[in-house]
């Protein structure tokens, strides 16, 4: 390494240390002025330097060098499904919290050195205080939110990649990964959209590392006022991909689920204006597209691959894809831009025809928020890479195809199965699908998963996804009820242990077959009632292929 390059990497390393050790502080009194308070008592003279809802992450307090004031964490006692954060107030105080925010009654807690703040909604308050602590980072970033039942993580990644490929520094966070300073890191959180304190911290780190744009995967949970995770994010662009039945255990009805997702578009009307275009993007193929278009007064641009939508796409100056062709090396299609009234040939090094829609949304978002010539964006498309666990090809030299994907709903099954079945059938191969279903989640989708898989698969293997508190076999039998035509022991197998199930799938595969490993994707564990088992689908699949000596001679 030459001296100049060494100096460059040294500077980057030092800046990274400074960035991730940067301390933000606000006085408790300043925070109290910005929120609605029911009651407040104790010492409000200290400084807050972090916002925490997990008492184990509360920082030990110290003293500020300039003011000599005590500084430490604010602990937010969030109400939960299985427990109440107020149970951990003593733990937070023992670990050094300087301020406690809570809602409802508070019993047996008194400490003159701590400030106690009672509020009506502790989650919304945490969002407000987090934004205040980090100096409202979304006010200086061009923030693009992406919502939908499927396609969010891929679209977020594609927008992020295209922005950076076009010379526009951006950060992002999604279910799978996140990036603050250009380096893509696996997401350590268990939530698609993390709690508001993490959201605001990551946005602040993006801003402070020199990003101009932030791309946010906006889940229905994150957009719900019940969680307030995105309550104080100022969005410049909202991207809607689709709505299908999912997460009804949280939202109750499909109507409420759709309403919560549309909060992303309602948020556009609250944007005070910060120098970026404000707009929405919708997948016009989805029946809910008009609903989302009506949820905002801002301009909304549609995209589609279906001929029936062509007139609407032209009317609203959106994007349309035609002449779509998929091969083993990628996808080719023609993009029609009704804003410039031009057509462009496009090439993708991605698997799955459905990714054309994700790319249309991404190109449209990047073009509209940056104002770049769309031709400059399109020429970068061959450089766009797939997301971990999303239509990921696993090649260890075997003579059959292995694909890993996160698909875990009936609608996502209908997205991936038909095109794969058609392609594999042409080569004389079979489709072997392996999947399960999440425990303690929507049970109505399970037989429908089985029905769709049986329709497009020659062999179906059912295995654990995340059984949680449910019995694995009973859960998988609910899926099997949807494919009674499959003969057990020949066309249908129930093997709860996922590695064993994958091993069975590989043993059944012949030349030109396709083995689809569905439902886990990027995830790094399998959740049981009494334990969480570390697990990586890609690593497991590769090891089993090598151990089984599936490589070609």
List binding-site positions: 55, 148-154, 192-193, 219, 229
| Partners of residue 301 on adjacent β-strands | 281
Extract the tokens encoding 323: 């002449």
Q: Is 414 left (phi over 0), alpha (psi -120 to 50) or beta?
A: alpha
Closest residue by Cα to residue 40 from 130, 104, 101: 101
Query: Which residues line the annotated binding site for ATP?
Result: 148-154
**Whole-Å CA distances, 445 to 235, 365, 441, 475, 493:** 33, 32, 9, 12, 19
Would you give the DSSP letter of residue 354? Answer: T
Helix or strand holding residue 52 (H, E): strand 47-52
Distance from the first to the final alpha carbon of the chain? 39
| Partners of residue 47 on adjacent β-strands | 27, 71
- The 3 state secondary structure assigned to 7-42 is HHHHHHHHHHHHHHCCCCCEEHHHHHHCCCCCEEEE
Q: Please say whether the beta carbons of 126 and 101 come within 8 A.
A: yes
What is the b/e burial string over 4-40, where b = at least 16 CB atoms within 10 angstroms of the residue's CB? eeeeeeeeeeeeeeeeeeeebbbbbeebbeebeeeeb
Closest residue by Cα to residue 28 from 75, 88, 62: 75
């Amino acid at each position: 390494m030459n001296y100049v390059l060494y100096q460059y990497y040294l500077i980057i390393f030092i800046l990274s240390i400074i960035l991730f050790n940067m301390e933000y502080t606000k006085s408790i009194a300043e925070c109290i002025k910005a929120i609605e308070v029911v009651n407040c008592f104790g010492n409000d003279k200290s400084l807050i330097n972090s916002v925490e809802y997990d008492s184990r992450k509360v920082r030990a307090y110290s003293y500020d060098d300039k003011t000599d004031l005590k500084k430490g964490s604010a602990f937010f006692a969030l109400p939960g499904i299985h427990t109440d954060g107020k149970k951990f107030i003593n733990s937070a105080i023992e670990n050094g919290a300087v301020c406690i925010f809570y809602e409802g009654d508070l019993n047996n807690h008194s400490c003159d050195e701590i400030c106690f703040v009672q509020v009506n909604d502790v989650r919304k308050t945490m969002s407000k205080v987090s934004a205040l602590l980090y100096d409202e980072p979304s006010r200086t970033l061009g923030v693009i939110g992406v919502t939908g039942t499927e396609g969010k993580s891929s679209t977020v990644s594609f927008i992020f990649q295209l922005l950076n490929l076009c010379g526009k520094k951006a950060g992002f966070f999604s279910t799978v990964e996140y990036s603050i300073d250009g380096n893509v890191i696996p997401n350590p959180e268990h939530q698609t959209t993390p709690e508001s304190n993490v959201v605001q911290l990551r946005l602040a780190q993006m801003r402070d590392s020199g990003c101009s744009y932030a791309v946010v995967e906006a889940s229905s949970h994150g957009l719900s006022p019940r969680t307030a995770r995105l309550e104080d994010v100022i969005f410049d662009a909202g991207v809607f991909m689709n709505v299908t039945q999912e997460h009804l255990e949280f939202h109750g009805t499909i109507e409420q689920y759709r309403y919560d997702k549309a909060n992303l578009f309602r948020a556009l009307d609250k944007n005070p204006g910060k120098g970026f275009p404000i707009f929405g993007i919708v997948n016009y193929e989805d029946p809910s597209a008009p609903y989302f278009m009506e949820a905002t007064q801002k301009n909304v641009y549609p995209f589609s691959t279906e001929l029936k939508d062509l007139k609407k796409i032209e009317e609203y100056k959106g994007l349309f894809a035609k002449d779509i062709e998929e091969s083993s090396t990628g996808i080719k299609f023609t993009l029609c831009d009704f804003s410039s009234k031009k057509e462009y040939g496009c090439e993708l090094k991605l698997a799955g025809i459905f990714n054309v829609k994700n790319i249309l949304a991404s190109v449209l978002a990047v073009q509209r928020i940056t104002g770049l010539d769309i031709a400059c964006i399109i020429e970068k498309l061959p450089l766009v890479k797939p997301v971990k666990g999303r239509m990921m090809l696993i090649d260890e030299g075997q003579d059959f195809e292995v694909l890993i994907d996160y698909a875990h709903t009936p609608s996502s099954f209908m997205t991936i199965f038909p095109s794969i079945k058609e392609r594999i059938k042409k080569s004389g191969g079979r489709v072997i699908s392996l999947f399960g279903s999440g425990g303690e989640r929507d049970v109505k989708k399970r037989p429908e998963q089985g029905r769709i898989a049986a329709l497009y698969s020659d062999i179906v293997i059912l295995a654990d996804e995340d059984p949680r508190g449910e019995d694995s076999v009973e859960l998988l039998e609910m899926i099997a009820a949807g494919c009674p035509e499959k003969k057990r022991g020949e066309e249908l197998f129930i093997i709860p242990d996922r590695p064993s199930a994958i091993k069975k799938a590989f043993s059944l595969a012949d030349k030109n077959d396709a083995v689809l490993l569905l439902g886990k994707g990027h995830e790094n564990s399998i959740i049981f009632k009494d334990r969480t088992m570390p697990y990586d689908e890609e690593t497991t699949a590769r090891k089993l292929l090598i151990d089984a000596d599936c490589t070609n001679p």
